[in-house]
Amino acid sequence: MKKITYLVASMLTVGLLTFTSCSDKTKDSANETVEEAKNDMDENVDEAKADMKEAGNEFQAKVREDKNALKADVDDAVDKIDRKIEEADAKMEKATEKEKAKWQERKKELNQEKEELKASWDDTQDETAVKWDAFKAKTRNKIDKVKADLKD
């Protein structure tokens, strides 16, 4: 963009110098040069706008794709937590009082992790595209923590 500005400025300067010391033919030539420079600048501006719009659309598509993938991962992790909660409920039915307390604590932890994941996903509605990468990394860390926790 600076090159275009310098190009236009230099062409205008040449044109102005031409106007002050030249014949009508030279003045017409200078006018044509200035007009061509304006047209070139307009074309370059239009092209830059189109490039920016395309880049914006590509970025939005990437964010949308990332959100869909993250949503699938969150849903998968929530489903796994639900299965673990069901397993804990089944084990509590057959467990002794001491073991029941252990399984109730585990169930409480699982429910808390599930709520944190759901809350993280709900936060996506408030996140802007600029903050998306940081948000995605934070949520991925929570998912990884849940997956690691569920392996035990």
Tell me what percent of the residues of the chain surpass a pLDDT of 70: 77
Question: For residue range 77-110, what is the model confidence (pLDDT) as tens digits?
Answer: 889 989 988 988 888 888 888 888 888 898 899 8
Question: For residue range 11-24, what is the model confidence (pLDDT) as tens digits?
Answer: 667 666 665 655 66
Determine if the pTM surpasses 0.95: no
C-alpha closest to that of 31 among 42, 15, 52: 15
What are the sequence ranges of the domains in the chain? 2-150
Are the C-beta atoms of 110 and 84 separated by less than 8 Å?
Answer: yes
